[in-house]
Structure 1
Amino acid sequence: MKVQLEKSFALAGPAAAAWVLLQDLEAVAACMPGARITERVDERHVKGTVTVKLGPASLVFRGEVEVKDVDDAARSLFLVGRGTDTTGTSGAAMDLRAHIEEEGSTACRLVGAAEVSVSGKAATFGGRMMSAVADQVLQQFAANFAEKLRSVPVPPQAEAIPEPAAARADGAAPATPAALSAAAAAVPATPAAARELNGLALLWAVFRDWLHQLFPARRA
């Protein structure tokens, strides 16, 4: 079963800083509810887990993410993810294209399009349920991404000539690309308990939305 997703989220921060954050897979994973990077295989491959909490029980999915393409000029990237749950009864795959759109000097937009495929028991939920749950997850992700963006330093413009360290008022050396990436990664991640994906809460949100569609509010 396949589901197509297209989402756009407004961000209160410069596009250059959002692009630095988007390229940091560990930082991005920390924004996704229940996701965690467990191993960096190389510059373009990472392994990780996604935990889904259902009441007192938790389900763990293990998988790998590959960075297929990165376009600095367009501030876009293409990711491919594959994974299975620990019981081997469900599988999932996702192709994601995301980019940052500039909307002024202090605002931007995160735009993404994904194709999600599921098999096994997970496919029995149906496309409508999957889309609704995915929408709830992406809303949480966007909120976490926006919060983390506040702590990412704005990289210097490519055409700007950095001031010598001695010429700066604070005496600090100018930021470098490596330092910027390190700063993004150093932003404290959300605690594991808070990042755990609460399946019951998501299912309730889906059920509530379904009721609203079935019984729309009557106007007075």
Structure 2
Amino acid sequence: MSDSPQEIPPLDIAQLNWTKLLGFEPSTEQLSAITAELEPARIIAGAGTGKTAVMACRIVWLIHQGKVRPDKVLGLTFTTKAANELATRVRTLLPKLKTQMADPSVLHDVGEPVIMTYNAFGAQLLKEHALRIGLEPDARVVVDALKYQLAFRVVSNTEVDLASVGYSPMSAVSDMMTLDQALASYMVEPFTVAQYCDELVKKYLATNYENEDHAKFVDTLQKRSR
């Protein structure tokens, strides 16, 4: 089958029974978002205002307008719960909208939208294209829960007296997670940070002024940079 979305004839918006389709009559703003042109856009609204319902209906609307094929739609969310909710709504709406099409058979065997979390999508890309970047196809994406477990394991096995540098195990793990996020955001390698800390220690050790506070600061810096 051709990838062209023009195989699906468009629907007349005036003929749609929105209440039957959505379970409620969309507001003017919601209807505008659902039927907007296929171009970059964003929806700004508070919690519980129907954003997910509008997003799901927009996906289905674009499909049934012949602007996109179902299997060419990618929906990404931050949480598994949101991904499941959006996917469920889309799967529920597609059959409903089919009943309002003159020829619903045009949607037979054309796949369905892919809806998942950003992490899951990244893991799928890695699995499919790992060999292209010199990695094994079974390589895993380290999610936050696993990062936390690894950080806690490192902290639990450290020989550093955490209390002497003002840390508890939980606060140390929390700071490690924060550092990890910062490194990822700024694309900085851990080695670069460690090297900077070593240079900082050397700088303060080389200073001429010595007092109790200065010595304590350098000692703490050395311990924390291990």
Q: Give TM class, smaller chain.
A: under 0.3
Higher relative contact order (CA 8 A, sep 6+): 1
- Give 1 or 2 for the bigger CA radius of gyration: 2
Q: TM-score, normalised by structure 2?
A: 0.24
TM-score between the two structures when normalised by the length of structure 1: 0.24
Higher percent of residues as helix:
2
More strand, by proportion: 1
